[in-house]
A and B are shown apart, each in its own frame.
Chain A
Amino acid sequence: MSGSKKISRRELLKAATVAGIGGMTLGLSKVGEAASPKEKPPAQTKSTKKILGVDVIKLGGQGVISGAHADYGWQIQAGAVLAIDEINAKGGILGSKLELKFMDEELKPAVAVKNARYLATDWGAHLLFGVDSSGSAMAVGPILPELDRICMFDHASTHRLTEELVYGKGIKQIFRIAAPVYQESNLAALIFKDFPNIKRWAGIHCDYEYGYSVWALFKDTLKKYRPDVEFVSIAWAPFWTMDFSSHISAVMAAKPDGIIATPWAGEGVMLLRQALMLGVFDNIQAWFQCMGASVDILEGISNEVAAGKFKDKLWATARYIHNYPDTPENNKFVASFRKRWNRFPNYSAENAYSTIYVFKAALEKCRSLKTSDLIKAMEGLKIMTPAGERFFRPEDHQAIYNVPGGRVVKDPNYPIPVLGDLKVFPAQAYYRNPPFEPLAMAK
C-alpha cells in the first residue's frame, strides 16, 4: 500500500475519529457559547410585543420512558403534549407559544438531576415538570434554588418531598400536583374502617420508601378508628420482583381477612395474577391494590375482571381515575385524550395535563416568568382541573384534591375496568396537614 494514493483503513479511521471528536467538542463548546455569558438566561428570543418578553415559553419535562415502567413517562408526555397543543391552538399564554422538551429519567436520581440541569441551564427551560420516582424527586428538589426554576412534580409520591423539603427546608421552587402517599394509605384506612368483619390485615409491599410509608400510614390511621384490627403479616418485595408466590404464601399463612399491596405497574399486574392462581380471593374478604386504578394495571387485568375472578373483592385507587369526577372538564379531557392517543389517560397523564394549565394560570396571574413571582402566584392557587378543583397549599406546596377509592369492576360503557362503588372522602380528611411530625417507619 506504500506509495499508493489509496487511503488506508487506519488513516480513514483516524480521520473519522478526529472528525467525530471535533464534532462532539464543537457540540460541547456550542453548549458553552449558547450559555454565554456563563449561564443561559431562560428567555432566548426576546420580543417587545410579548407580555412575558419571549416568543416561546420553554417547558422541560422528564419521566421514565424506557424500561418496564416506561408507560408512566409516556403518559406524562402524552398529557403534556395534549395541553400544550390545546393552548397553542388558542394563541399560547399571553401571546407566547409553548415548546416542550421531554427527557428520559430512567428512574435514576443522577440522571434526573442531570436532565434538570441540562433543561434549565442549557436548553433554557423556563419551567420544569414531571419526574416519576420519589428518589429522583428528592434529588432534583434540592438543586432547584441553584437552577432558579420551579418544578411541578407529577408522579413522585413520597411525603418527604413536600413535608421535608418544602415545609421543613423551605425549598419554595418545589410544587406537587399529584396526590402523595396519603392517597393510598390513609384513604384505604378510611374506607376499611367501615368493614367490621375485616379485622386481620396483611401487607405485600415494595421494599423501599414507598412501601414503608404506605404501610406505616395505613396502620397508624386504621388503628385510630379501629383499635380492634390486627396487622398479622407483612412481606417486602424488592424492585423488579416478578415472582410473588413466596410473598403471597407468607402472608396467607397468617390467615388475613384483608391484604393491602403497593407493587405498581407491571409488578402490580403480576402480583394480582399470581394471587388469583394461588386462590387468594377465595380466602380473603378484600384486597386493596394501592395504585391499581392506574390504566396500565386496569388494562393488564381486564380479562380477569370481566370473568369475575376477583369476586368483587379487589379494591383500588390512584392519583386520578378517568371515570371520576363526572364533570365537563374531566369528560372533555378524557374524550380529547382518547381521540388523540387512542387510550385512556392514567393519573400521570392527567397530572401532566393539569400541570400545563396550572402554569398557564400562574403566568396569567403574575404576568412574569420570574421564579419568585411564579412561586407567589402558585401558592394558594385554586384551579379547576379534570381531577376536580385543586388547591395549592401554601405551607408545603402540595395540591389538595380528592380522588375516591372503589371496587375494580367491569362497566359496559368502558372497554377497560373502572372503579365502582366509589368511596369519596374530602381530601382534608386523609391528607396529612401541617405542622408535620416525622413519620416513624420501622419495617
Chain B
Amino acid sequence: MKTRLAILILVVLLALLPAYAGKYALYVAIHILLLSIFSLGFNLLFGYTGLLSFGQAGFYAVGAYGCAKILLAYPSLLVGIVGGVVIAGAVSLLLGFLCIRHTRIYFSMLTLSFGMMIFSLAWKWRDVTGGDDGLVGIPRAPLEIPGLFKINMAPMENYYYVVLAFAILAIYLFYRIVHSPMGLTMQGIRDSETRSVCIGISVRKYRLLSFTIAGMYAGLAGALLPPLESTVTPPLAHWSHSAEPVLATLLGGVYSFSGPIVGSVLFYLLKDIIVRFTEYWQMCLGIIVVVLVMGFRGGVVSIFSRKGGQR
C-alpha cells in the first residue's frame, strides 16, 4: 500500500513538473526517463537473465535512426516511435539468435562486436545515415491519430508528456514481465541453467526472448530521442554509450526492480551537475561512482531494503 502511494505521488509530481520547472529541467527529465527505459531493458538481460551485454547502444541507435528516417519521410510521431521500436526489435531478434548461443564473457564480447558493427554501419553508410554528421533537421512531428486527434509537439512540455506516458507504460509492462511466469523462468535460468534444462525449459528460447525485449526497450529509448534533439549521430551506437545503462544499473541495484531507474536518476544528475563546475568532471564522476559502488554493494536501492542485496 505504502509503495503504491509513493508511486502515485511520484507520478503526480512528474505530471506536474512542467508547471514548476523550466525548459532545461524538462529536458533533463526527458533524458533521465530515456536512460531509465534503456537501463530497465538492459537489466532484463543482466539482472533477470544473467547475460551482460555491452552492445545495447547498437539497438538504441537502430531505434533512433529508424524513427529519424520515418519522421523525415512521414512526419507522424507515433509512426516514428513505433516504427523505431519495431525495427530495433527485428534487429535484436536477428542478432540475438547469434548471440544467445554463448554465455558469460563470450556473450559479452559478441554483443560488444555487434554493437560496434552497428556503429560502423552508422558511420560508413553515408547515403542512409548521413555518416559522421548524422541525420539533421528531424521534425518533432505532431502526435496524431487521423480522424481522432492531433497534438502539436513543438512545445517541450507536450513532448515531455509523450515521453512520460511511454516511460510509465514501459515500466508497467516491465513489472508485468518480470513478475510473470516468463520473468520467473528467466530468473530461474539466471540462477541455474542446468536445473532449468533438467525441468524442460528451453533456455535458448527464453534468452532470445529476453534479448529481443531488451533490444526493444533500447529501441524505444532511442526512438524517443530524435524528436527531442532533431538529430541522430553515430556515437549513439558506440560502446561507451552502452556503458551508461551498465553503470546506472550497478549504481541503482542489479537485483531490484527500481534499481536501474534510481541509478539512471543518480548517474544523469551526477554527471550533469559536476560537468557544470569543472573540466575534470570525468575524474570526479569516476571517484563518486567508485565510492557509491563500493559503499552500496547491491546498489543504492539495496540500502533501503531490510537486508542488503535483497532482490
Contacts and interface: CB of A to CB of B under 8 A. Distances in A.
A128 B126 CA distance: 29
Most B CB within 10 A of own CB, among A17, A28, A36 = A28
A348 interface: no
A39 B23 contact: yes
B131 A109 contact: no
Given A38-B23, A39-B23, A110-B236, A143 B229 contact: yes
Contact of A21 (B22, B123, B266, B296): B266
Contacts of A138: 133-134, 136, 231
B172 interface: no
B303 A208 contact: no
A158 B133 contact: yes
Contact of A24 (B134, B235, B269): B269
Interface string B259-271: 0000001100110
Given A32-B21, A40-B22, A142 B131 contact: no
A66 interface: yes
B28 A104 contact: no
Contact of B22 (A14, A31, A139): A31
B269 to A, nearest CB: 5
A142 B231 contact: yes
* Residue of B22, B282, B296 ringed by the most chain A CB atoms within 10 A: B22
B29 to A, nearest CB: 8
Contacts of A36: 20, 22
B136 A165 contact: yes
Contacts of B236: 110
A165 B137 CA distance: 9
Interface string B279-307: 10110000000000001100010011000
Contact of B279 (A13, A104, A118): A104
Interface in B217-256: 229-231, 233, 235-236
Contacts of B31: 114
A109 B25 CA distance: 20
B133 A135 contact: yes
A104 B275 contact: yes
A110 B276 contact: no
A113 B231 contact: yes
A114 to B, nearest CB: 8
B137 A31 contact: no
Contact of B273 (A27, A65, A135): A27
B304 A14 contact: yes
A35 interface: yes
Interface residues of A, number: 47
A121 interface: yes
Contact of B269 (A10, A27, A158, A165): A27
A65 B280 CA distance: 9
Given A110-B236, A135-B132, A14 B231 contact: no
A160 interface: yes
A165 B133 CA distance: 13
A117 B24 contact: yes
Q: Classify the secondary structure of B's interface with A.
A: helix
Q: How large is the interface on B (under 10, 10 to 19, 20 to 34, 35 or more residues)?
A: 35 or more
Contacts of B282: 66
B134 A109 contact: yes
A40 B270 CA distance: 23
Interface string A51-95: 000000000000001100000000000000000000000000000
Contact of B233 (A27, A33, A110, A165): A110
A35 B134 contact: no
Contacts of A135: 132-134, 233, 235
Interface in B64-89: none
Given A17-B300, A139-B229, A142-B230, A35 B24 contact: yes
B270 to A, nearest CB: 8
B229 A28 contact: no
Contacts of B23: 35, 38-39, 117, 121-122
A29 B25 contact: yes
Nearest to A123: B276
Contacts of B25: 28-29, 31-32, 35, 122
A179 interface: no
A141 interface: yes
Contacts of A141: 136
Given A14-B304, A117-B24, A142 B281 contact: no
A138 B126 CA distance: 15
A142 B136 contact: yes
A180 B272 CA distance: 32
A123 B277 CA distance: 12
A108 interface: yes
B173 to A, nearest CB: 26
Contacts of B281: 66, 104
B27 interface: yes
A134 interface: yes
A103 interface: yes
B137 A169 contact: yes
Contacts of A113: 229, 231
Contacts of A209: 131-133
A216 B235 CA distance: 25
A29 B231 contact: no
Contacts of B231: 109, 113, 138-139, 142
Nearest to B262: A21
Contacts of A104: 275, 279, 281
Contacts of B137: 142, 169
Interface in B18-66: 18, 20-25, 27-28, 31
A310 B308 CA distance: 65
Interface in A158-209: 158, 160, 165, 169, 208-209
A101 B276 CA distance: 9
Contacts of B123: 208
B303 A35 contact: no
A160 B133 contact: yes
A14 B308 CA distance: 11
B261 to A, nearest CB: 12
Nearest to B20: A32
Nearest to B236: A110
Nearest to A9: B295
Contacts of B304: 14, 17
A284 interface: no
20 contacts: A10-B303, A14-B304, A21-B266, A27-B273, A28-B25, A31-B24, A32-B20, A34-B22, A35-B23, A40-B22, A110-B229, A117-B24, A117-B27, A121-B24, A134-B133, A135-B132, A141-B136, A142-B137, A160-B133, A212-B126
Given A65-B279, A142-B230, 5 more contacts: A17-B296, A17-B304, A104-B281, A114-B31, A158-B133
The 6 closest A-B pairs by CB, nearest first: A35-B22, A32-B21, A122-B24, A208-B132, A139-B231, A109-B233
